[in-house]
Amino acid sequence: MATAATVARNCRKVMCIGRNYADHIKELNNARPKQPFFFLKPPSSILLPNSGPIVRPKGVIMHYEVELGLVIGKTVRDLDPADEQGALDAIDGYLLAIDMTARNVQDEAKKKGLPWSIAKGFDTFMPISNLIRKSRIPNPQNAHLWLSVNDQMKQSDNTDLMLFRIPRQLSDISRVMTLDAGDIILTGTPKGVGPVGTGDIMRAGLKVNGRDIEEARIEVE
Amino acid sequence: MATAATVARNCRKVMCIGRNYADHIKELNNARPKQPFFFLKPPSSILLPNSGPIVRPKGVIMHYEVELGLVIGKTVRDLDPADEQGALDAIDGYLLAIDMTARNVQDEAKKKGLPWSIAKGFDTFMPISNLIRKSRIPNPQNAHLWLSVNDQMKQSDNTDLMLFRIPRQLSDISRVMTLDAGDIILTGTPKGVGPVGTGDIMRAGLKVNGRDIEEARIEVE
Ligand SMILES: [Mg+2]
Ligand SMILES: [Mg+2]
Ligand SMILES: [Mg+2]
């Protein structure tokens, strides 16, 4: 069983799907995409379980986005979007992850037509759980994600609400970038994103059919 | 002496500085940045020397951008922008590289405030040379970059024209993302970027004080 440290070490790219839950698109006043789009986070942004707090950079309004992460198990190119089995076969395991975002930096970048890499890429901006064995999530489109801040529930939705399902995501990404074993995909966040600051405690979890599969507790510095 | 294959294997992130030569900013009608900005290219976009052509994705207007690449030799965080020696010490060697760009995809992304990752991240979109030993470029702010298409010179300028010099680049990047040994930084492109298509042959080179240090020849499919 791979530890989170092994997952981090083997990861050479992280691709994150944007705007993949309808209610989250509305809450940020964004346009609904006609096709999946994605951006990169650097492997250096990964924060391992129990390895310290998320560090808020000075002047940054930092938002949480809880997401289901896929750890890729083999090389994938030009996957057919209808190939559900091919998509499942490409997945080695799952992660509970938070796509931390410097929202004010991102808003500024959007306005100016600049890249998102800085807004998404600070150190500690990608807390991940331990690797979740594949067998524990029989259907990745039926997993419940939740996130609370100081024991107030903020995000709580099922992955069946994704606009673009996982085979389509892997297809669109793999037509641009070859996926390699160890790569990580974050599949988008449900509604309820918001700011966290110094001293806040986030808890996040993943359930399947009402059963707790993974939980994490992360402090903000 | 590390081969290009070793460089590619050791690389976990590629950070590219945008708009770092004044005349290149003008030619694309961009705003001059008040501070360096950068974006990520995935390691999967690296194209090794003599390993085949650049592949143009369907419907893509593909531009070349010749750049000086830095291969990082050690962990760097929060470098002081005035620390010229610290910046030099962080560099393990150099690359001649081309930051291939899907310009129409990028233009669309800019207009919509979307990330640049797709426009910059296709497979083969980052041809690199062999590693250039550090001693061969005594001063990275005095290297001449050139690129020709079908024997017509298109780009030919010295790195002394950079708006933000290398210590400032490493400083700004390392305040966001920890730099690790093996990471690559592309330092921006001089004026003269333009499209290439099927059958075009690009040559690129790097000179120091009039002496050829590295040359490459790349076909476009
Ligand atoms: Mg392909
Ligand atoms: Mg996200
Ligand atoms: Mg460039």
pLDDT for A1 equals 60
B158 CA → ligand 1 middle, Å:
34
Q: Is the pLDDT of residue A185 over 90?
A: yes
Q: What is the mean pLDDT of residues A23-39?
A: 89
Q: Is the pLDDT of residue B26 over 90?
A: no
Residue A90 three-state SS: helix
Q: Is the pLDDT of residue A113 over 70?
A: yes
Residue A134 three-state SS: helix
Query: Which own/partner pairs from B148-152 qualify as long-range (CB within 8 Å, at least 24 positions apart)?
Result: B148/B202, B148/B203, B148/B204, B149/B64, B149/B194, B149/B196, B149/B200, B149/B201, B149/B202, B150/B200, B150/B201, B151/B201, B151/B203
Counted across chains A and B, CB pairs separated by less than 8 A come out at 102
Question: Could you list the residue range(s) of the whole structural domain that residue B174 is in?
Answer: 4-139+161-196
Residue B206 lies in a domain: no
pLDDT for A28 equals 86
Q: Please give, one letter per residue, the 3-state secondary structure of chain B.
A: CCCHHHHHHHCCCEEEEECCEHHHHHHCCCCCCCCCEEEEECHHHEECCCCCCECCCCCCCEEECEEEEEEECCCECCCCCCCHHHHHHHEEEEEEEECCEEHHHHHHHHHHCCCCHHHHHCCCCEEECCCEEHHHCCCCCCCEEEEEECCEEEEEEEHHHECCCHHHHHHHHHCCCCECCCCEEECCCCCCCEEECCCCEEEEEEEECCEEEEEEEEEEC
Q: Tokens 């979007």 belong to which residue? A: A81
- Determine the Cα–Cα distance for residues A17 and A37; give it in Å rounded to an integer: 6
Ligand nearest to the CA of B41: 3
Residue B214 CA from chain centroid, whole number: 15
pLDDT for B197 equals 96
Sheet holding B194-196, edge to edge: B101-102, B62-64, B194-196
Q: What is the mean pLDDT of residues A179-195?
A: 97
Q: What is the mean pLDDT of residues B7-32?
A: 92
Check B177 against A42: CB less than 8 A apart.
yes
Residue A213 lies in a domain: no
Closest-CA distance, B167 to chain A, in angstroms, reads 18
pLDDT for B1 equals 60
| pLDDT tier for residue A32 given thresholds of 50, 70 and 90 | confident
- DSSP bridge pairs for B153: B148
Residue A214 lies in a domain: no
Total domain count, chain B: 1
- Determine the Cα–Cα distance for residues A191 and A22; give it in Å rounded to an integer: 8
Tell me what percent of the residues of chain A surpass a pLDDT of 90.
Answer: 92
Q: Is the pLDDT of residue B144 over 90?
A: yes
- Determine the Cα–Cα distance for residues B9 and B12; give it in Å rounded to an integer: 8
Q: Is the pLDDT of residue B28 over 90?
A: no
Average pLDDT, chain B: 96
Residue B169 lies in a domain: yes
What's the pLDDT tens digit per position in B80-103? 999 999 999 999 999 999 999 999
B123 CA → ligand 1 middle, Å:
6
Closest-CA distance, A9 to chain B, in angstroms, reads 10
- Determine the Cα–Cα distance for residues B202 and B196; give it in Å rounded to an integer: 8
Q: Is the pLDDT of residue A31 over 90?
A: no
Average pLDDT, chain A: 96
pLDDT for B198 equals 96
**B61-88 burial string, b = 16+ CB within 10 Å, else e?**
bbbbbbbbbbbbbeebeebebeeeebbe
Token pair of A194 as six digits:
């918001």
What's the pLDDT tens digit per position in A196-215? 999 999 999 999 999 999 99
- Determine the Cα–Cα distance for residues A3 and B56; give it in Å rounded to an integer: 38
Q: What is the mean pLDDT of residues A140-160?
A: 98
CATH number at residue B81: 3.90.850.10
Q: Is the pLDDT of residue B32 over 90?
A: no
- Determine the Cα–Cα distance for residues B32 and B12; give it in Å rounded to an integer: 29
Tell me what percent of the residues of chain A surpass a pLDDT of 70.
Answer: 100
- Determine the Cα–Cα distance for residues A116 and A122; give it in Å rounded to an integer: 11
Structural contact between residues A7 and A184, judged by C-beta atoms closer than 8 angstroms: yes
The sign one gets for the Cα dihedral B152, B157, B163, B164 is positive
Residues of B in contact with A18 (CB under 8 A): 114-115
Q: Tokens 């310009």 belong to which residue? A: B103
Residues of A in contact with B77 (CB under 8 A): 123
Structural contact between residues B67 and B19, judged by C-beta atoms closer than 8 angstroms: no
Structural contact between residues A17 and A187, judged by C-beta atoms closer than 8 angstroms: yes
pLDDT for A25 equals 86
**Which of A5-9, A183-187, B22-26, B175-179 is predicted with the least confidence, judged by mean pLDDT?**
B22-26
Q: What is the mean pLDDT of residues B178-201?
A: 97
Give the DSSP H or E segment for A96: strand A91-98
What's the pLDDT tens digit per position in A54-64? 999 999 999 99
pLDDT for B7 equals 97
What's the pLDDT tens digit per position in B99-125? 999 999 999 999 999 999 999 999 999
Q: What is the mean pLDDT of residues B2-14?
A: 95
Residue of A nearest to B182 (CA): A12
User: Is B15 at the interface with chain A, CB within 8 A?
Assistant: yes
pLDDT for B25 equals 86
- Would you list the DSSP string of A146-181? EEEETTEEEEEEEGGGBSS-HHHHHHHHHTTS-B-T
Token pair of A205 as six digits:
């979890």
Q: How many CA atoms lie within 13 A of B17 on its CB side?
A: 34
Q: What is the mean pLDDT of residues A135-141?
A: 97
